[in-house]
């Protein structure tokens, strides 16, 4: 049996929550390996709807959840999320959740700096969630981060705060924002320590034991390939690597153990926040997709921009993300449209490109080149087999496979967990 890594193949919000939940029911361990509480998965289980940001999705299925060292953790946000799902009847304890002791912490000063920078950018703002994820990753790379293990050492915590505040208070003051008091921050962290530390351990050891025992591990990615800090539409990206290779480094397991890489893509395309979006629709069709697809961010609550499926973009994500199969979601949102368009490339300065250029100026100037396919008047909602799909819908899916150069191994036809057509079991490799 193979392990499985799930990553987004567009700009996030592709419906990973349902797919991860569906896979988690067959896994033993579910691991979050990058990002912070700027990610969001919505899971519908019976009559309960869980909105998760940091907690691994497998917890709602009674699976062991692990937050890897590649995640930046706001301890207050984590404890708040644990309390929120607890009020819904889902108990999260050290027996069901383990956290890498090497994971960096997000502090209030990180969120303050994030918001101050966005305000200073004005019209050039990136569109971050303002939750401090970027500044926390900066501190990690600069080797001044406070990590989960440091909560157990008050003297270490005190020394590290001195270095952090020397850096951050200078920046905050320069941006005209309020600065932070060292003593208050120290007391805040010391109060959080006994609540967080019972979850902490070197999770790489547990994952190595699980691998040796042949247990199924599901690696749960946040955001998506086109938000990857190296491979995405930079600078309108997140602050971590979102490709499947990060599942190894972000959890402490060898790359050979990551297993089958499943990319999630909508049957159309959406994006939250600023940045290039070549196939975006600002007309009535774009509004229709947003209304039917209930396109509001789980974390931000912001309306998502909507557009046609961009096969050139997803093909690029397949190549750099290591995607071996696609899960195509929300096919039913396209029901009833008389015709559909698929972006097959971009025209830039008279040249035809099959990839997005690296330059943000070129990305903004790239014009989509479309292929038009017939729509279908019949409903696909709730379909659970190929035989349930209208012929034009099958043709649409098959054409996507050809253009992105990857098979559609799973097809989702509604938010309901069981409304899924499986062509290949990812856990079978």
* Tens place of pLDDT per residue across the chain (429 aa): 589 999 999 999 898 888 888 898 889 999 999 999 987 777 777 788 888 899 998 899 899 999 999 999 999 999 999 999 999 999 999 999 999 999 999 999 999 999 999 888 887 877 788 899 999 999 999 999 999 999 999 999 999 999 999 999 999 999 999 999 999 999 999 999 999 999 999 999 999 999 999 999 999 999 999 999 999 999 999 999 999 999 999 999 999 999 999 999 999 999 988 899 999 999 999 999 999 998 876 666 668 899 999 999 999 999 999 999 999 999 999 999 999 999 999 999 999 999 999 999 999 999 999 999 999 999 999 999 999 999 999 999 999 999 999 999 999 998 887 889 998 889 886
In DSSP notation, 342-410 reads EEEEEEETTEEESS--SSHHHHHH-EEEEEEEE--SS--TT--SGGGS-HHHHHHHHHHHHHHTS-EEE
pLDDT for 118 equals: 87
pLDDT for 157 equals: 94
pLDDT for 140 equals: 97
Alpha-carbon span 275 to 127, nearest angstrom: 8
Of the residues 13, 101, 114, 419, only one is catalytic, namely 13
Instruction: Kindly state the tokens that stand for 125.
Output: 């703002």
pLDDT for 296 equals: 79
pLDDT for 15 equals: 85
Closest by alpha carbon to 106, among 129, 87, 125?
129
Instruction: Kindly state the tokens that stand for 172.
Output: 């905050």
Count the neighbouring beta carbons within 10 Å of the beta carbon of residue 77: 17
β-strand 420-422 against 269-271: which pairing, if any? Answer: unpaired
Axis crossing angle, helix 182-196 with helix 75-87, rounded to the nearest 10 = 40
Domains of the chain in sequence order: 4-101+199-260 (3.40.440.10), 108-196 (1.10.300.10), 266-428 (3.90.170.10)
Burial status of residue 391 (CB atoms within 10 A of its CB: 0-12, 13-18, 19 or more): exposed
Alpha-carbon span 178 to 111, nearest angstrom: 12
In DSSP notation, 399-429 reads HHHHHHTS-EEEEE-SSSTT-EEESS-GGG-
* Cα-based distances in Å from 329 to 81, 252, 408: 26, 30, 10
pLDDT for 278 equals: 96
Closest by alpha carbon to 126, among 296, 282, 272?
272
Alpha-carbon span 208 to 322, nearest angstrom: 22
pLDDT for 258 equals: 95
pLDDT for 301 equals: 63
Alpha-carbon span 61 to 203, nearest angstrom: 20
Is residue 41 flagged as an active site residue?
Answer: yes
The kind and range of the H/E element at 92 are: none
Convert the pLDDT of each residue in 294-326 to its tens digit. Answer: 887 666 666 889 999 999 999 999 999 999 999
Of the residues 37, 41, 110, 168, only one is catalytic, namely 41
> H helices then E strands: how many in the chain?
12, 18
Convert the pLDDT of each residue in 99-137 to its tens digit. Answer: 999 999 999 999 999 999 988 888 787 778 889 999 999
């Amino acid at each position: 049996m193979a392990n499985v890594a799930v990553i987004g193949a567009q700009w996030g919000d592709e419906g990973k929550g349902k797919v991860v939940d569906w896979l988690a029911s067959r896994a033993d361990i579910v691991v979050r390996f990058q990002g912070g509480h700027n990610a969001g998965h919505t899971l519908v289980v019976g009559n309960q709807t869980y909105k998760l940001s940091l907690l691994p999705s497998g917890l709602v299925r009674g699976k062991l959840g692990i937050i890897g060292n590649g995640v930046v953790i706001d301890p207050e946000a984590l404890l708040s999320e644990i309390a929120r799902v607890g009020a819904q009847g889902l108990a999260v304890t050290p027996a069901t959740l383990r956290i890498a002791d090497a994971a960096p912490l997000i502090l209030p000063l990180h969120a303050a700096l994030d918001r101050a920078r966005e305000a200073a950018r004005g019209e050039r703002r990136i569109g971050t969630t303002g939750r401090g994820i970027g500044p926390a990753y900066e501190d990690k790379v600069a080797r001044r981060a406070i990590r989960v293990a440091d909560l157990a050492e008050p003297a270490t915590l005190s020394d590290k705060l001195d270095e952090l505040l020397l850096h951050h208070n200078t920046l905050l003051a320069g941006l005209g924002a309020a600065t932070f008091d060292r003593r208050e921050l120290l007391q805040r962290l010391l109060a959080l320590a006994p609540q967080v530390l019972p979850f902490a351990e070197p999770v790489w050891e547990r994952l190595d034991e699980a691998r040796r025992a042949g247990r199924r591990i599901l690696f749960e990615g946040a955001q998506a390939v086109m938000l990857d800090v190296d491979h995405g539409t930079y600078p309108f990206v997140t602050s971590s690597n979102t490709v499947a290779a990060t599942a190894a480094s972000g959890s402490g397991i060898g790359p050979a153990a990551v297993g089958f890489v499943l990319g999630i893509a909508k049957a159309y395309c959406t994006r939250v926040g600023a940045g290039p979006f070549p196939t975006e629709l600002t007309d009535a069709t774009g509004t229709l997709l947003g209304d039917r697809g209930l396109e509001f961010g789980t974390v931000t609550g912001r309306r998502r921009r909507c557009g046609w499926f961009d096969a050139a973009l997803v093909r690029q994500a397949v190549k750099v993300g290591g995607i071996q199969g696609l899960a195509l979601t929300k096919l039913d949102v396209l029901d009833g449209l008389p015709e559909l368009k698929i972006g097959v490339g971009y025209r830039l300065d008279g040249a035809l490109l099959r990839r997005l250029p690296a330059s943000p100026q070129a990305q903004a100037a790239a014009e989509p080149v479309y292929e038009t396919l017939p729509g279908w008047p019949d409903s696909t909602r709730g379909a659970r087999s190929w035989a349930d799909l209208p012929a034009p819908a099958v043709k649409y899916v098959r054409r996507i496979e050809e253009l992105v150069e990857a098979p559609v191994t799973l097809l989702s036809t509604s938010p309901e967990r069981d409304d899924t057509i499986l062509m290949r079991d990812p856990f079978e490799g």
